[in-house]
Amino acid sequence: MRRIASQAAVLLSLALACLPLVSAAPQSELSLRQKERLIEAIGKRLSSRAYAFETDFGQWESLAKDRWHEIEKAETKEELATVLGEALDSFDLSHLGLFAPSTVKDRRSGKRSGMGITIHPLEDRMGGLISYVLADSPASRCGLEKGDILTHIDGEPMLEIKQLAGTSGQKRQITWLRGGQEMSCEIEYASFSLSEPSSLTWIREDVALIRVQSFLPKFYKAGRINKFFRQARNAKGIIIDLRNNRGGLSFYSRHLASKIASPETTFASLADNKSENQGKKRRTVRPLPLSKNYEGEVVVLVDSLSASAADIVPAFVSENELGTVIGQRTSGALQLAKSYPLPYGFRIYLPIAEMLTPNGLRLEGVGLEPDIALSLEETIDDSKILTTALQTIDRTQEGSE
């Protein structure tokens, strides 16, 4: 799955008879015919449900053929999911992926297996900069901290994020730098929650910081957000922190939008098969009509991992001139997606529409450039980015007086 992981669907008919028929290895969890059925089911889901701009899902047949040797060799469902997932990656879409039965349960519970870090590749040297360490995760138990630079894994230079992929119980040797000092640890991968509940902190007596790390139902509680905005209704400014927010339900992003804008404001528009291929009008999406909105100064913090629902909220704020967006260009993973069942316990996650900004701009694969751009190091440094946010609130209010 690209980056999760941008772009009309056509009717797909997968000619599996063209695939070479070779006896499946005895130890394989799925027979050759079962693998064929799974590939065929993926094609049917893509042709009947998927939508993305300028994307021909009819390519699935040839993509599967190109990887047939690897498909045939895959012995476990996890290995098969990896091979077929890499084939789906060729579409270069943010919300398209295949999940083996073993990972479906974790995804439903909002969990993943691995280290429990957020990491950004460095452009000028080997390694990745850690911007977030989940509490009570393998990474936190190993001593990793925000700002560390992960340099090696199992003795090999860390060049790609996919090198960190692993399963629960797997042990890896990692090396990192902290302030020029090299450190190392044997880390054991485990299952962990992807995010933490939203929180409110007063960083100044007249400025509140509301952290929203996910728009998933497990972590985004509308009542909690309502309470935060009631507590901060007389604040000079509110800073909404969407750094490391990988998205979730668009419904919850509209709820957050309702706290800072009237329900008549354009939140986004939707492009799908009906609007782009059947001549229907694109549907305008607006904030939920729930309550009186906050009218003070608003700042939104973002980074390169602010994705999906966390892509559209800052665009909504910036284009409607509701506040200032600070940080780095967002992820550019702005599709609406659904999960569908497949044979043998697999599931496919695919895009069914694309969400466009209030001005009709497409962010998928591009992301939103913030109003005030900071470096990666400045964006993950709470002190620096919050200082910039406070200065922006003070300057904006002075200009309006």
CB atoms within 10 A of CB 359: 11
Between CA 84 and CA 103 the distance in angstroms is 15
In CATH terms, the fold of domain 199-332+367-396 is 2-enoyl-CoA Hydratase; Chain A, domain 1 (3.90.226)
Q: Which pLDDT band, with edges at 50, 70 and 90, does 400 fall under?
A: low
Q: Which of 79-83, 109-113, 221-225, 270-274 has the lowest mean pLDDT?
A: 109-113
pTM for the model: 0.83
- The residue with greater pLDDT, 254 or 5, is 254
Q: Are the C-beta atoms of residues 370 and 326 closer than 8 Å to each other?
A: yes
Q: Are the C-beta atoms of residues 70 and 87 closer than 8 Å to each other?
A: no
The predicted-structure confidence for 194-226, as pLDDT tens digits, reads as follows 677 899 999 999 999 999 999 998 899 999 999
Q: Which CATH number fits domain 111-193: 2.60.40.10, 3.40.50.300, 2.30.42.10, 3.30.390.10?
A: 2.30.42.10
- Give the pLDDT of residue 397: 72
pLDDT at 284 over 90: yes
- DSSP assignment of 88-156, as one string? HHTT--TT-EEE-HHHHHHHHTTEEEE--EEEEE-SSSSSEEEEEE-TTSHHHHHT--TT-EEEEETTE
| Mean pLDDT confidence for 124-132 | 88
- The residue with greater pLDDT, 319 or 169, is 319
Q: Of all residues in the chain, what percent carry a pLDDT higher than 70?
A: 90
The predicted-structure confidence for 50-79, as pLDDT tens digits, reads as follows 999 989 999 999 999 999 999 999 999 999
pLDDT at 279 over 80: no
Cβ-in-10-Å burial (0-12, 13-18, 19+) of 180 comes to exposed
